[in-house]
Amino acid sequence: MELGTRQTARAGIDWSSLNLFLLLLSALVVCGWILWPFLPALTGAVVLAVVTRTPVLWLRRRVGRPALAAALALIAIVLIIVTPTVFVAYSVGQHVLDVSRALQAGTPEHEVSRFFDRHPDLAGVARRLAENFEPGQAFDRAVAAGARRLAIFLGHSVTALIEIVVMLFVLFFLFRDPDEALRTLRGLLPLRGEETEYLLERSTRAIRALVLGRFAVAAIQGIVAGLIFLALGVGGAELLGSLTMLLALVPAAGAYAVWLPVAVYLLLVHHWIKAVILIAAGMLVISTLDNILYPVLVGSHLRLHTVPIFLAMIGGVWLFGVSGLLLGPILFNLTASLLAIWSSRARGEPLPLD
C-alpha cells in the first residue's frame, strides 16, 4: 500500500508543492497590491540609496554610528534635493493656477487682441488660420481642460507630500542597514552567487548612469535655462526651466523645444537683443551642457543607448506614471541582464564582461 502511494506521487502531480506555489503567488499579488500606491516612493528611496551609497559609506566611516550617519545623510538629501524640488513644484503650481485664473477671466483674449493691434501683419496670418475653426468653442474647451488639469494637479499635491514622507522613511533604513538590505535581496534572488553579483553590479551601474547621466544633467540644464529666462525678464521662468528639464530627458526634443520658441516670440515682439542673447545662450550653453557634463559625471563607458532609454521612459510613464521615468529603463536593464545570465547558462559559458 505504501509503495503504491509513493509510485502514484511520483507519477502524478505533487499537490503539496502546487498548493504552496499558488499560496505564495497569491501572497505576492496581495503584497504587490498593498505596495502599489507607494511605488514612486519606494523607487525614489532605492534609487537615492544606490546613487548616494559611496558618500554615505564615507560618512559612516567618519561618524562611526550608523543611525547618526543615516540621519545626517537624510538631512542632506532633504536640504539638497527634496526642498528645492518642492519649492520649484510649488512655483510651477502657482504659475499653472495663475494661467487657469487668467483663462477663466478672459484675460488672454484681451492680451491677444492688444498684441495683434500692435502687429497687424501677424493679425492677418492669424485671421486666415482661424477661418477653419470656431475660436470661441476652442477657447471654452481649453478653459475646461485647464480647469480639469488644475483640479487633478492640486489633488495629487497631497499625495506627493505623503510619498515624500514614505520615501524619506524608507531611505533612512536603507542608509542605516544597507548590508542587511543587500543580504535579504541576495537571499530572495533564485540565482547563483556570481550571477547575483553580476545582476546587482549591472543594475547599480545602470541606475547611476541613468540618474547622473540623464536626470542630473537635465536638472542642471533646467536650472541654467530658468536663470537665463529670469535674467532676460521672461515671464514664468520657473515654469519654463522645469519644462526644459523635462524635455531635456527626451533625446528627440531636448532643450531646443523650450528656448527656441521663446526666442521666436521675443523676435516677434521686437525684443531683438534679448532674442539674440537667448539664441546664443541656448546654442552654446543650454543645449550643449549634456555633452560636457555627461562624461564628467558618469564616463563614456556607462553611456546607455538613446533608443531603448527613450522607449523605456515613454512606456514606463504610460504604465507606472511619473516613477516610470526611472522604472522603465531600470526594468529594461534588468531584463537584459537576466537574458545574459540565461544565455550564459544555456551555452555553458562564463558571464560576459562589461
pLDDT tens for each residue of 191-227? 888 888 888 888 888 888 888 777 888 888 888 988 9
The pLDDT tens digits for 57-68 are 999 999 888 899
The cell numbers describing 265, all together, are 516670440
CA 216 to chain centre: 11
The band of 236, judged by pLDDT with boundaries at 50, 70 and 90, is confident
Mean pLDDT of the chain, nearest integer:
77
Q: What is the pLDDT of residue 135?
A: 46
DSSP string, 237-254: HHHHHHHHHHHHT-TTT-
For residues 178-191, average pLDDT: 86
Contact 217, 294 (CB under 8 A): yes
Q: What's the pLDDT at 254?
A: 73
For position 120, what pLDDT does the model report? 57
Compute the average pLDDT of residues 36-50. Answer: 89
Question: Residue 71 has what pLDDT?
Answer: 93
pLDDT tens digit sequence for 151-172: 444 445 677 788 889 999 999 9
pLDDT: which is higher, 340 or 297: 340
Domain boundary assignment for the chain: 38-187, 195-354
Model pLDDT, residue 101: 58
d(CA 51, CA 33): 27
DSSP-derived letter for residue 133 is: S
Mean pLDDT computed over 236-247: 82
Q: How far apart are alpha carbons 123 and 135 in whole angstroms?
A: 14
Q: What is the mean pLDDT of residues 300-322?
A: 74
Is the model's pLDDT at 248 over the cut of 90? Answer: no
Q: What is the pLDDT of residues 105-139, one digit of tens each?
A: 555 555 555 655 555 555 554 555 555 444 444 44
141, pLDDT greater than 60? no
pLDDT of residue 4: 47
Kindly report the backbone phi and psi dihedral angles of residue 184, in degrees, each rounded to the nearest multiple of 5, phi listed first.
Answer: -65, -45
What was the pLDDT predicted at 305? 67
Question: How is 299-312 classified by DSSP, letter by letter?
Answer: -GGGPPPHHHHHHH
Q: Which residues in the chain belong to E strands, given as ranges?
A: none
Reported residue count of the chain is 354
pLDDT over 70 at 47, yes or no: yes
At residue 297 the predicted structure's pLDDT band, cuts being 50, 70 and 90, is low
| Alpha-carbon span 32 to 22, nearest angstrom | 15
Give the pLDDT score at 303.
55
CA 101 to chain centre: 29
Between 237 and 280, the higher pLDDT residue: 280
Structural contact between residues 329 and 312, judged by C-beta atoms closer than 8 angstroms: yes
Radius of gyration for the chain, computed over Cα atoms and rounded to the nearest angstrom: 27
Task: Output the pTM of the full model.
Answer: 0.70
